[in-house]
Amino acid sequence: MMPESFDLALKVALVVFMAGNLLDMGLRLDPRAALGGLRDTRFVIYTLLWGFVLSPALAVGVSLLIPLDRAYAIGLILMGLAPCAPFLPPIVDKAKGDLGYTAALMLLTAVGTVVVMPFALPLLVQGLSVTSWQIARPLLAIILLPLVIGMLTRHWSATGAAKVQPAVKKITGVATLATAVLLLVVYGEALFDVPGNLAVAALLLYFVVLAVLSYWFAFGLDYPKRIVLSTGMTTRNLGAAIAPLFATGGTDQQAMIMVVLGLPIMVAAALLAARWFGRGRQGGAVTHGG
């Protein structure tokens, strides 16, 4: 059994990791750049549909198809309810996507996660012994508040935000590394058991199917918008997925491991999808929808 000091250090690192990522996102997010995407009704509908209906439904479906332990299934469903990683813009830029629409998707999904997850999670996970408010509280404190602070800082002083953002990014990077190391120290053994292997299979299936379907079934969107939707749905906001675990007793370990295991898999899936669909676009092979 690990000393309590490791557990406390992990919780502190997680809070800095989560809040720092969203503060960094807010400092970089330009609401004016997002207006084009927010005015595109088709894009907004696809974002909300894939983000908060189809992605969670796929997570539930995969958890039923593959016999996961309950806590691993909860981790997958939490990721299903938390679309769009804060590090999406570099992936979209590499894939030649629309960065203005990226800003719109990031804003929609961040706010949508805080609104939807507290009500959807108890419905999707039977017998969950927490209230909607218990789920919403860490989301508001660790996700929405840093995002709003970052956006307001940028609104009041773009120069000030540009000066602060590199420091926030560095601190968040250190917290991310510390979180990864502490997770290995505290939960390392559980990463190699049989349920963990099933968890990897479930994550692979989830992210591959999500990457492909969210691209192919975005009818009416051209490539720069379609790739934003696909990579935004394939990447997950792990901070938002982890935040409710502070309110759930008895499921933290395996559910958190499930979320952490999802990080390299989702990044690989998003990058491979961007490269594959981009290649098909250049060669004229990918012609679905718009």
Tell me, what CATH number does 43's domain have?
Answer: 1.20.1530.20
Report if residue 288 sits inside a domain.
Answer: no
Report if residue 192 sits inside a domain.
Answer: yes
Report if residue 106 sits inside a domain.
Answer: yes
Q: How confident is the model at residue 290 (pLDDT cuts 50, 70, 90)?
A: very low
Closest-CA residue to 136 (of 110, 150, 116, 151): 116
Report if residue 44 sits inside a domain.
Answer: yes
Helices (H), the chain: 4-28, 31-38, 41-49, 55-65, 70-80, 88-94, 99-124, 132-138, 145-156, 158-187, 194-216, 223-234, 238-242, 252-283
pLDDT digits (tens, 9 = 90+) for 54-104: 999 999 999 999 998 888 999 999 999 999 988 888 889 888 899 889 989
Instruction: Say how far apart CA 137 and CA 246 lie, in whole Å.
Output: 10
Phi-psi bin for 221: left (phi > 0), alpha (psi -120 to 50), beta? Answer: beta
Residue 1 has pLDDT above 50, yes or no: no
Closest-CA residue to 233 (of 105, 117, 107): 105
The contacts of residue 74 (CB under 8 Å, 6+ apart) are 125, 128, 248, 251, 255, 258
**Confidence at residue 280, expressed as pLDDT on a 0 to 100 scale:** 59
Q: How confident is the model at residue 3 (pLDDT cuts 50, 70, 90)?
A: low
Closest-CA residue to 77 (of 139, 114, 120, 141): 120
Select, from the ranges 55-64, 65-74, 106-115, 255-264, the one with the highest average predicted confidence (pLDDT).
Answer: 55-64
Q: How confident is the model at residue 232 (pLDDT cuts 50, 70, 90)?
A: very high
Higher model confidence: residue 287 or residue 135? 135
- Domain range spanning residue 211? 4-283
Report if residue 277 sits inside a domain.
Answer: yes
Report if residue 111 sits inside a domain.
Answer: yes
Q: Residue 94 CA to chain centroid, in angstroms?
A: 19
Report if residue 289 sits inside a domain.
Answer: no
Q: How confident is the model at residue 282 (pLDDT cuts 50, 70, 90)?
A: low
Assigned token pair, 106: 């990031």
**Confidence at residue 109, expressed as pLDDT on a 0 to 100 scale:** 94
Instruction: Write the secondary structure of 138-153 as one string of H (helix), E (strand) and C (coil).
Output: HHHHHHHHHHHHHHHH
Classify residue 115 by burial, with Cβ atoms within 10 Å: 0-12, 13-18, 19+.
middle
Report if residue 290 sits inside a domain.
Answer: no
Mean pLDDT, the chain, as a whole number? 86
**Confidence at residue 170, expressed as pLDDT on a 0 to 100 scale:** 93
The answer to which of 69-83, 156-170, 235-249 has the lowest mean pLDDT is 235-249
Q: How confident is the model at residue 286 (pLDDT cuts 50, 70, 90)?
A: very low
Provide the domain count of the chain. 1
Residue 249 has pLDDT above 60, yes or no: no
The answer to which of 135-144, 186-195, 270-279 has the lowest mean pLDDT is 186-195
Q: For tokens 């679309």, what's the residue?
A: 83
Q: How confident is the model at residue 166 (pLDDT cuts 50, 70, 90)?
A: very high
Q: Residue 190 CA to chain centroid, in angstroms?
A: 23
**Contact assessment for residue 26 and residue 148, using Cβ atoms and an 8 Å cutoff:** yes
Q: How much is the average pLDDT of 35-62?
A: 95
**Confidence at residue 206, expressed as pLDDT on a 0 to 100 scale:** 97
The number of beta carbons lying within 10 Å of the beta carbon of residue 93 is 12
Higher model confidence: residue 208 or residue 182? 208
Inter-axis angle of helices 158-187 and 252-283, to 10 degrees?
A: 120
Q: How much is the average pLDDT of 275-286?
A: 62
**Confidence at residue 43, expressed as pLDDT on a 0 to 100 scale:** 97
